[in-house]
Structure 1
Amino acid sequence: MTGPVLVTGATGNVGGAVARSLRAAGVALRVAGTDVRELRERFPGVPAAHLDFGDARTFDAALDGVAALFLLRPPQIARVGPTLNALVDRAARHDVRHVVFASVTGAERNPVVPHHRVERHLRASGLPSTVLRPGFFAQNLADAYRRDIREDHRIYLPAGSGRVAFVDTRDVGDVAAAVLADPAAHRGAAYTLTGPQALDFAEVAALLTETLGRPIRYQAATVGGYLRHLRRRRVPATQAVVQTVLHTGLRRGQAEQVDPALSLLLGRPGRTLRDYVTEHVDRWRWTDGPPPQKVEG
Structure 2
Amino acid sequence: MLLSAAGVAMCLVGGWLWITRWSKLRHLLDTPTSRIRSAAQGYVELAGVLRGLPDTPPLMAPLTATPCLWWRYRIEEYQSGGKRGSWRILEQGSSEELLRLFDATGDCLIDPRGAEVLPARRDRWTGNQRRPRGAPPGGVLAWLTGHRQYRYTEERLHADEPLYAIGDFRTSGGGRQGLDLTAAQGRVVREWKEDYAGLLQRFDNNRDGRLDQAEWGRVRLAADLEAHRRNRLASSQQALHQLVRPGEGLPFVLSSHGEEVLVRRYRWQAAGGAMLCLFGAALLAARVAG
Same fold by TM (over 0.5)? no
More strand by share: 2
Choose between structure 1 and 2 for higher RCO, CA contacts under 8 A separated by at least 6 residues.
2
Q: TM-score range by the shorter chain?
A: under 0.3
More helix by share: 1
TM-score where L is the length of structure 1: 0.20
